[in-house]
A and B are shown apart, each in its own frame.
Chain A
Amino acid sequence: MAERELNFGEALNEAMRQEMQRDPKVVIMGEDVAGGADVDHLEGDEAWGGVLGVTKGLVKEFGRERVIDTPISESGFIGAAVGAAATGLRPIAEMMFVGFMGVCFDQLLNQGAKLRYMFGGKAKVPLVIRTICGGGYRAAAQHSQVLHSLFTHIPGLKTVVPSTPYDAKGLLISAIRDDDLVIFFEDITFGGIKGAVPEEDYSIPFGKADVKRAGEDVTIVAIGKMVHHSLAAATELEKQGKSAEVIDPRTLSPFDEDTVLSSVEKTGRLVIADESHPRCNVATDIAAMVADKGFDYLNAPIKMVSAPHTPVPFSPPLEDHYLPNPQKINEAALGLF
C-alpha cells in the first residue's frame, strides 16, 4: 500500500480525480473550478482550478464537459446541481466560501435537503458541496465563517468536517458515493497541513469518529481546525499531568455518539471545541446528548470552547482574540479538575 505525504488540497484533488475516473457521472461545477473558460491561450492546467487550486489539473484530464465553470450565480448553479443529482449525475459543486451559502439557501434548505423525503423516497440527491470555512485568514466577517452547525440542524443534509489529508480523501470519496446531499467543509487554514495519504482509493464511513489521541483524564471532542488546537492543548495538559483523549467526529451528521460516550465513560470529563458561535452549535448539541445519555459518567460540568457570539472581526488582534486556540482549550480542561 503506497503512501506519501500530501497536503490537504492534494488529497482532495486525488479523491475527485479517482472518483471521476471510476464514475463518468461525477462532474465538478463551480466558480473558476477549471478557470479561464473560453480563454484560447490557456491549457487546462494553467488555469485557476478553484480559488485555492484544489481542482487544478482536473479540467485537463476530464475536459470542460465534466469540470464546469459557472457564472457567479449560486442559486442557479447549486440548484442546478441539486436537479442534476436528482436526475442521474453525481455533481461535486464548489461553493467557494461558506458565507456565500447565504445566496443559495433556498436551493439547499427547501429543495436539496427535502426532495428525497417529500417525494416519498423516489428521488435521491447524490450531491457534494465543498466549501471553504473558518477564521484565521484575516478575511473578515463574510469570508471567515464556520457554519457547519447551521447545516447540521437541517434534516436531509449530511455534514463532513475533515481535519487531516488522510481523512479528507477518504471522507470525500464516501461523500461522492453517498446518495444524500453532503456539505463538505474545508478549513481555510489547512492549505499547509501535510499527512500520509494512500495512493489507492479508500473510503472512510460516515458516522465513525476517530480518536486522534488516546487519553484517560479528560475527553476533548474537537471539530475541524479545533482538532489540531486540541492536540496541541493535550500536549500541554500532558506536561500538567493530565492525559487528554482527543476525538474528531469527522462527520457531524451522522454523528458517532458511541465513541464520545464511551470515552466520557472512561474519563468522566468532557470539553467540546467548536469554532462556531456559541448558541445552538454542534458543541451545545453534543453537550446535550452527553447530558442526556451519559450524565452518570460525568465527574464535572461539560465545558464548551467556542467563538463568541459576534461576527468575525478583521483586525488581527481582534480575530486572534475571537478564535478558540490551544490555550483556551487547555484552560477549559484544567478547570474541570
Chain B
Amino acid sequence: MDIPKDKLLWIYERMQLIRVFETRVSTEFGKGKIPGFVHLYAGEEAVAVGICANLTDADYMTSTHRGHGHCVAKGVDVRGMMAELFGKATGICKGKGGSMHIADMDKGMLGANGIVGGGPPLACGSGLTAKTTGTDQVTICFFGDGASEQGTLHESLNLAAIWKLPIIFVAENNGYAESTPAHYHCSVENIADRAAAYNMPGVTIDGNDLFAVYESAHEAVARARAGHGPSLLECKTYRHHGHFEGDAQTYKIAEENEKYRTELDPIKRFKDAVLARSLVSEAEMADIDGRVNAAIDEAVKFAEDSPFPEVQETFTDVYVSY
C-alpha cells in the first residue's frame, strides 16, 4: 500500500518526537531531575510508529516497562508524559505512576507496565470487550523478547486464538532481556515461529524498517478488524541505550551497537528512503525537527514549572480502609 504524504509526515514527526523525548529524558535523568528508573526506547521507533500509524485513538494498546515510545506513537501528550516522569501534579497520571506506569485511557493506552509479561492478559481483556460489544477496535500488545518467556504471554496467545480476539501481538525483539541475550533465553530463533503452535499467523520483520513494520501491521490490523483473529508480528530491533539509564552495557557487541546506531538506525533509514523517492523533502523534515525540538523543550519546561502533587493525593484513587 502507499502511505499518503500526510501520514509520512506524521510518521517522521512521531519517530523524531520519540527520539528527542528519550534523548532528553536521558539528559534530565543524568541531572537528577527524574527520579526512579527509566528504560529508554530510542532505536526502536520504527516499531511503535509503524504499528500505531495504522490505529485510531479508539484502539487499545498494552505496553511494557519500555513504554515511552508506545505512548508517543499512540498520541499521548508529551507534556503530560514529561511531567509524569518528573513526578508532578500535571503528569498524565498525576505523578502517581511514573515512567513504568504511564497510561492514558483516553488514547486507549492501557499502561506501561513494571511487570514483564503483565500486559498480554490485559490485552486479551480489551480484545474481549471489543469483540463482545461489537466494535471494530483492535488491541496492540507490545512485549519484549524477554517477556516472550512468561507464561502469561503463552496463555494469552492461546486465549486470543480460541476466542478469535482482535489483537496484534507485537514482539519487540531487541536481542536482550536486561543483560541476557535472546539466543540464550529463548528456545527458538524467531519468536514468531511460536505463532504456529497457537494457530495464528506469525511474521518476522526487520523492526528498524518503518515500511516493513507499517505494511505488516496494516495487514494484521485489517485482519483483526475484520474479525479474523489475532496475529503475532515479531520486529527485530535494538535499543540504543542500556537496559536502564546507568547500565554499563558490557554485554553488547561493540560493532553491532555501532551499526545499529548508524546505518541501521530506523530514523535514518526512513529519511533516506523517503528522500530517494522524493516523497518528503529535506525542508519539510527540517521543519518537523524544529517543531519537535520546541515541543520537547516546552514539555521539559512545563514539567519543571509544574508543582508536585499535594500529599493528600496519596490517599485518592483507591479505597483506603484505614
Q: Do A and B bind each other?
A: yes
Interface residues of B in 29-48 (CB under 8 A from A): 35-37
Q: Mark A84-106, 1 if CB is under 8 A from B, else 0.
A: 00000000000000011011000
With A140-B100, A313-B314: A38-B183 Cβ-Cβ less than 8 Å: yes
Partner of A31, one of B100, B114, B178, B250: B178
In the complex, chain A residues whose CB is within 8 Å of the CB of B91: 315
Interface size of B as a range: 35 or more
Bound: A43/B36 CA distance, A: 30
B101 touches A (CB below 8 Å): yes
Asked whether A36 lies within 8 Å of B251 as measured between CB atoms, the reply is: yes
In the complex, chain A residues whose CB is within 8 Å of the CB of B314: 308, 310, 313, 318, 321-322
Interface residues of B in 178-236 (CB under 8 A from A): 178-181, 183-186
Binding site for A on B (CB under 8 A): 35-37, 87-89, 91, 93-101, 113-117, 146-147, 149-152, 177-181, 183-186, 250-251, 253, 308-309, 311, 313-315, 318, 320-322
Partner of B180, one of A31, A74, A310: A31
Partner of A42, one of B89, B95, B96, B250: B250
A317 touches B (CB below 8 Å): yes
A76 touches B (CB below 8 Å): yes
Binds B, one of A20-28, A45-53, A173-181: A45-53
Binding site for B on A (CB under 8 A): 31-32, 35-39, 41-42, 46-48, 51, 69-76, 99-100, 102-103, 137-143, 278-279, 308-311, 313-318, 321-322
Asked whether A35 lies within 8 Å of B35 as measured between CB atoms, the reply is: no
Greatest chain B CB density within 10 A among A69, A310, A311 is at: A310
With A35-B180, A308-B314, A309-B321: A141-B308 Cβ-Cβ less than 8 Å: no
Asked whether A316 lies within 8 Å of B318 as measured between CB atoms, the reply is: no
- Nearest-neighbor residue (CB-CB) of A137 within chain B: B36
Greatest chain A CB density within 10 A among B149, B177, B180, B250 is at: B180
Bound: A36/B100 CA distance, A: 24
With A72-B150, A313-B314, A316-B35: A38-B184 Cβ-Cβ less than 8 Å: yes
Partner of B250, one of A47, A72, A100, A315: A47
Please provide the 6 A-B residue pairs with the shortest distance between their CB atoms, ordered closest to farther.
Answer: A314-B98, A138-B35, A315-B87, A142-B114, A315-B95, A71-B149
Q: Is the interface of A mostly helix, strand, loop or mixed?
A: loop
- Nearest-neighbor residue (CB-CB) of B314 within chain A: A318
Partner of B87, one of A39, A76, A316, A321: A316
Bound: A83/B98 CA distance, A: 37
In the complex, chain A residues whose CB is within 8 Å of the CB of B87: 138, 314-318
Please list 16 pairs of residues, one from A and one from B, whose beta carbons are closer than 8 Å in the complex, sorted by A's number.
A31-B180, A35-B179, A47-B179, A47-B250, A48-B179, A72-B185, A74-B150, A76-B149, A308-B314, A311-B318, A313-B314, A314-B97, A314-B101, A316-B35, A318-B308, A322-B314
Q: A142-B114, A308-B314 are in contact. List 8 more A-B contacts (CB 8 A).
A: A36-B250, A73-B151, A103-B115, A138-B87, A140-B100, A313-B96, A314-B36, A314-B97
In the complex, chain A residues whose CB is within 8 Å of the CB of B146: 71-72
- Nearest-neighbor residue (CB-CB) of A37 within chain B: B184
In the complex, chain B residues whose CB is within 8 Å of the CB of A308: 314-315, 320
Asked whether B320 lies within 8 Å of A103 as measured between CB atoms, the reply is: no
- Nearest-neighbor residue (CB-CB) of A35 within chain B: B179
In the complex, chain A residues whose CB is within 8 Å of the CB of B35: 138, 314, 316
Asked whether A143 lies within 8 Å of B179 as measured between CB atoms, the reply is: no
Asked whether B180 lies within 8 Å of A36 as measured between CB atoms, the reply is: yes
Bound: A221/B149 CA distance, A: 42
Bound: A36/B177 CA distance, A: 10
Asked whether A140 lies within 8 Å of B311 as measured between CB atoms, the reply is: no
In the complex, chain A residues whose CB is within 8 Å of the CB of B250: 36, 42, 46-47
In the complex, chain B residues whose CB is within 8 Å of the CB of A102: 115
Instruction: For residue A150, give the distance in angstroms from its CB to the closest CB of chain B.
Output: 16
Bound: A68/B100 CA distance, A: 27
Asked whether A313 lies within 8 Å of B313 as measured between CB atoms, the reply is: yes
Asked whether B180 lies within 8 Å of A138 as measured between CB atoms, the reply is: no
Asked whether A315 lies within 8 Å of B308 as measured between CB atoms, the reply is: yes
In the complex, chain A residues whose CB is within 8 Å of the CB of B116: 72
Asked whether A278 lies within 8 Å of B322 as measured between CB atoms, the reply is: yes
In the complex, chain A residues whose CB is within 8 Å of the CB of B315: 308, 310
Asked whether A315 lies within 8 Å of B309 as measured between CB atoms, the reply is: yes
In the complex, chain B residues whose CB is within 8 Å of the CB of A316: 35, 87, 308
With A140-B114, A141-B101, A143-B114: A314-B96 Cβ-Cβ less than 8 Å: yes
Bound: A310/B318 CA distance, A: 7
Instruction: For residue A135, give the distance in angstroms from its CB to the closest CB of chain B.
Output: 11
Asked whether A321 lies within 8 Å of B311 as measured between CB atoms, the reply is: yes
Partner of A76, one of B37, B115, B151: B151
Asked whether B309 lies within 8 Å of A317 as measured between CB atoms, the reply is: yes
In the complex, chain A residues whose CB is within 8 Å of the CB of B88: 315
In the complex, chain A residues whose CB is within 8 Å of the CB of B253: 39, 41
